[in-house]
Structure 1
Amino acid sequence: MQAQYTAVTPFNHKLSSPLTKKGITVLQINLGKRCNLACTHCHVEAGPKRTEELSPEICEQLISVIHKFPEIKIVDLTGGAPEMNYGFKPLVEAARATGKQVIVRSNLTIYFEDGFGDLPEYFAKHQVRIVASLPCYLVDNVDKMRGAGVFDSSVKALQWLNQLGYGKDENLILDLVFNPQLPNGENFSLAPEQSNLEQDYKMFLQEHFDIVFNNLFTITNLPVGRTKMHLERRKLYTSYLQFLELHFNPSTVEHLMCRDELSIDYLGNVYDCDFNQMMNLPAKTRNGETLTVGKLLEAGSLDLISEIRTAAYCYGCTAGSGSSCSGALL
C-alpha cells in the first residue's frame, strides 16, 4: 500500500510554506455513520447497518462550544444522514439560539422514512440551510450512485421544500451538490465549470419538475472511503492520485476549507477537515497532542492547531478550480 503513495509527490512538498489555520469560523460536526442510504461514492462509508453516533456527553460538549465561541459563524451538520443520529435537533437549536447559520447536509430521501416526515417544516421553522446531494439531474446517473428510486424521492423532496419557500425565500437557502461519476477506467475528469453546470441544472429541473434552488456546488471525488475502495478494486488508485496531482492549482491553497474550520467526529475528536477525519488523521496541538472538544473547552480557545495535517488526497481539494464543502474554490 505504501508504494502507491510513493508514486505521488507528497502534498506538503507542493506548498511554499506549511499550511496553517486562519481564524476558525466553521464548526463541522459529523454526528455519526447511521444513514438510510449506502451511496457508492460515500467517503464516510455510512449506511443502514452502521450504528456509530454521537453520545449525550459529546453532544453537551459541542453545545458548550457553540455557546462559548462567538467567532463560530456556521455550524455544519453532516453524517451519515445527520438527521438520523443522536443530538441533531439540540445542536440545530443551540446554534440558531446563538445566531449562527446552520447547514444540514441532507440526502433528501430521509424525509420519507418513518419518523422523519417533520424535517422539511422543522428546517423551515429554524431557517436551516439545506445542502442536498444530487450528483446529476438525470435519473440513471443518480440511481447508479445512490440507489434505485433515489432520484424520484429527491425530486419529491425538492418540490416539498420549494412549497415551504426553500429556493425562493432569502432566509430559506437550498443548495445542491454535484459529484462526478466514479471512473471505471483511466478516463478521469474534474468537475465541469461550476457556474455553467449550475445553469444547466436550473434549466433542466425547472423545465421538467418546476424545481428551483439557490446554488450548485461541484465537489471532486476524493480518494477516501468507498471512492478509495472503488479505485483500488479497479487498480486505479495511484493513477487517480497522479491525475489530481497533475492538475494541482496553487491558487486554491489560500481558499481551502481546512483553513477556517474544525471538523469534529461523533467521539469528540478534532480534525482539520472531514477527509482527515475519515482517514483518522487527527489535528495536533502545538505540543503534538491530539485535539478533542474537551481540550478546546479547557483551553478556552479554538486556535490550538499550529499546522494543518496533509496527505496525498489533499490534491483532490486543490485540483483545477479546487473543491470544498461549498463547491469550487475559484
Structure 2
Amino acid sequence: MLQPSAAPELFAAHITPFPERLDSALVKQPITILQVNLGKRCNLACSHCHVDASPHRTEEMSDRVADRVIELIQTFPQIKTVDLTGGAPELLNGFKPILAAAVNTGKQAIVRSNLTIYFVPGYEDIPEYCANHHAHIVASLPCYLADNVDKMRGQGVFDASMRALQWLNRLGYGSDPSLQLDLVYNPPIPTSTNFRLTPDSVALERDYKLFFQEHFGVCFNHLLTITNLPIGRTKFQLDRHQLTLPYLQFLESHYNPKTVAKLMCRDQLSIDYLGNIYDCDFNQMTNLPALTRNGEILTIDRLLAAGTLDLINEIQTKPYCYGCTAGAGSSCGGALVS
C-alpha cells in the first residue's frame, strides 16, 4: 500500500510542475484586492466546498485580527476591493465592522453568500445591511435546477436560495446599478473520467436568467463560472473514486497560457482568520503561505510593520493551479478569457 509520504512523489511523476508550463516566473503585481476569509463556520456543508466549512467548525476571526484587517484597509489606498468570504462570512465575527470599514474608505465590498444564511435566526438583517452599505453580493448557486443544487448543498437549499434572491430583488439588487448581484456556477464533481471544462459563461448565464425570470421572477447581473479545484471536499470526493490524479491530468491537458496574465493571485492577498497571508484562497486552504522576497512567511502584522502590501515577488504554486488556467480559466470573478 502506498504510504501517505509517497503521495507528493507520485503526483510529481505524473503532473508537470506548474512553473515549468509558464513562459516566465509568476510574479505579483501591485496589490489591489484583499480577500478575507473570516473563518470556517457555516450553516451549510456543501459537497464541493474547498474550505471544508460546516456548522460543526468553530474557527473564526478574533477581534484583534479583525482590527488589524481594518487597519490594513484604512492604511493602504491602493486597495480597491475587499472581498469577504468564509464559511458563511455573515455568520462570523468581524463581518460587519470590516464591511463598514471597506465602504467608509471608498472601496468596493464583496460578500460571498450562500443566501440561506438570511433565514438563520439572528441574521435576518443581513440583506438590508448589505444593501445599506452597497455591498456587491456574489452568491453560490451551482445550478438552476433544484435537484442538482440540493444534491450538492443540502435539502431545501434551492427553495431557500430563490426566496433569498427575491428578497434581494425587492431591495433593488439586480436592478439598481449600485446593488450588484452575481451568481456562481460550479460544475458537479466528476464521478468518472468523463471530465468536462466549465461551460461557456455567456450561454449559461442566458439560461439561468431565462429560467429564473420565468419561474421565480428573479433577476441578477452576472453568472460567474468557477472550476472545481481538487482541494477540500472536492478532493475528498475525487479521492473516493480514485480520480484526483486523472482530473489533474485533464486540467493540465487544457492549460491555456492566455489565462496567466489575468490570474486572481497576481494582484490579490488572501488573509485567513488568524491573520496569515496567502497568494490566493486555494493556497490558504492547503496551508501554502505567501513568502517575501527573502523567503519569510507573511502576516498582517508584518505588512503593517513594513508599511507596504507589496512584499511578495514570486507566487507560490501547486498542481491545482491548472484548474485556474484550464480552458477559459477560472477565478473568484469567473472566467478569465473568452
TM-score normalised by the chain length of structure 1: 0.99
1:158 lines up with 2:153 in the alignment: no
Where 1:130 maps in the other structure, the secondary structure is: strand
Contact in 2 for aligned 1:5/1:238 (Cα 8 Å): no
Counterpart CA distance in 2 for 1:127 and 1:230 is 37
Give, in angstroms, the shift of residue 171 of structure 1. Answer: 0.3
> Any idea what the Cα deviations from partners look like across 1:133-190, whole Å, max 9, x if unmatched?
0000000000000000000000000000000000000000000000000111111111
1:108 match: 115
Matched to 2:188, the amino acid is: Q
> Any idea what the Cα deviations from partners look like across 1:207-233, whole Å, max 9, x if unmatched?
110000000000000011100111111
Gaps of 5+ in 2: 1-6
Counterpart CA distance in 1 for 2:116 and 2:239 is 29
2:97 to 77, 82, 90: 90
Counterpart CA distance in 2 for 1:52 and 1:212 is 34
1:213 to 212, 220, 225: 220
2:283 match: 276
Where do residues 1-330 of structure 1 align in structure 2 (5 Å cutoff)? 1-2=7-8, 3-330=10-337
Matched to 2:32, the amino acid is: T
Counterpart CA distance in 1 for 2:171 and 2:247 is 42
Structural RMSD (CA): 0.5
Give, in angstroms, the shift of residue 121 of structure 1. Answer: 0.6
> Any idea what the Cα deviations from partners look like across 1:90-118, whole Å, max 9, x if unmatched?
00011111000100000000000010000
> Any idea what the Cα deviations from partners look like across 1:64-106, whole Å, max 9, x if unmatched?
0000000000000000000111100000011111000100000
Contact in 2 for aligned 1:37/1:48 (Cα 8 Å): yes
Gaps of 5+ in 1: none
Counterpart CA distance in 2 for 1:70 and 1:48 is 36
Give, in angstroms, the shift of residue 6 of structure 1. Answer: 2.2
Counterpart CA distance in 1 for 2:295 and 2:190 is 38
Matched to 1:63, the amino acid is: I
Where 2:195 maps in the other structure, the secondary structure is: coil
The alignment of Structure 1 onto Structure 2 pairs a total of residues equal to: 330
Where 2:139 maps in the other structure, the secondary structure is: strand
Counterpart CA distance in 2 for 1:320 and 1:165 is 34
Matched to 1:278, the amino acid is: M
Where 2:111 maps in the other structure, the secondary structure is: strand
Give, in angstroms, the shift of residue 42 of structure 1. Answer: 0.2
Counterpart CA distance in 2 for 1:169 and 1:178 is 23
Give, in angstroms, the shift of residue 5 of structure 1. Answer: 3.6
TM-score normalised by the chain length of structure 2: 0.97
Where 1:27 maps in the other structure, the secondary structure is: strand
Matched to 2:204, the amino acid is: L
Contact in 2 for aligned 1:107/1:132 (Cα 8 Å): yes
> Any idea what the Cα deviations from partners look like across 1:286-305, whole Å, max 9, x if unmatched?
11100000001000000000
> Any idea what the Cα deviations from partners look like across 1:256-292, whole Å, max 9, x if unmatched?
0000100000000000000000000000001110000
Where 1:216 maps in the other structure, the secondary structure is: strand
Counterpart CA distance in 2 for 1:232 and 1:5 is 17
Counterpart CA distance in 2 for 1:326 and 1:261 is 12
Counterpart CA distance in 2 for 1:277 and 1:321 is 23
